[in-house]
Amino acid sequence: LWWNLPFFNSYGARIISEDGKKCVIDSDDAVKALEMMASLVNEHKIEAGAWRPGAISPEQGFVNGKYAMVFMGPWNLAKFANAKMDFGVGLIPGGSKGTSTNVGGTDVVIFKDTKHAAECYDFLTFFTSAENQKDWCTKLNQLPINLGAYDLVSFEDPHLMMFMQQMKHAGPNPVVKDYSLLEDLVNPEVEAVLSGQKTAREALTAAQKKVQERLIDF
């Protein structure tokens, strides 16, 4: 599901309603997004099938020359450069709503019962500040989590700058209590469409029912 989200986002399709009470993955926009994904595999023959069990991973297939284009984050730039590859980075092809990507990561929280709430707050404020995020990006080649840092960072690497540009068009992951279960429920249906076993409408109708019953209403 992770690598499918940019397609859903680019068609304006949500997985979960804004109030979190309903799975809406069977919307017309979501069907269009999945139909487009399937066309890359079954019609245009330009998707190599890294999602299939036992397939070569996207990053390894790219280095080996098996895959001409992959979805990937900046964490692999050094690997590609060390492999002496001649490669470029571009925005993800967009749907009816334009280009998009997804946002993931690890949450940082302050426990309500902690005796050191002030110290925790001070640390998180420091860690997420624009100035600190500038150093995070410059020294580690990672993207900032504070938009205020974007104007402070100056990279000579045009590849990383393209990732920063892409993040301006990012959408959040679906907010659910068990994201791994969401993937377990949705992924088989998406794969059934990509492999030609189901239509997008059939698969997403089935996915909606499973997610609603087992994740939201449970």
Q: What is the mean pLDDT of residues 169-184?
A: 92
The per-residue b/e assignment along 73-107, b for 16 or more CB within 10 angstroms, e otherwise, is ebeebeebeeeeeeeebeebeebeeebbbbeeeee
- Per-residue pLDDT of 52-65, as tens digits, reads 889 999 999 999 99
Q: How confident is the model at residue 152 (pLDDT cuts 50, 70, 90)?
A: confident
Q: What is the mean pLDDT of residues 30-54?
A: 91
- Per-residue pLDDT of 82-111, as tens digits, reads 999 999 999 998 999 999 998 877 778 999
Classify domain 5-216 at the CATH superfamily level: Periplasmic binding protein-like II (3.40.190.10)
Please give the Cα distance from 191 to 147 (Å, whole number).
35
Residue predicted with more confidence, 145 or 14: 14
Q: How confident is the model at residue 50 (pLDDT cuts 50, 70, 90)?
A: confident
Which ranges of 65-157 does DSSP label H, i.e. alpha helix?
Answer: 77-82, 117-128, 130-140
Report the pLDDT value the prediction gives residue 198, as an integer from 0 to 100: 98
Report the pLDDT value the prediction gives residue 106, as an integer from 0 to 100: 74
Predicted structure pTM score: 0.85
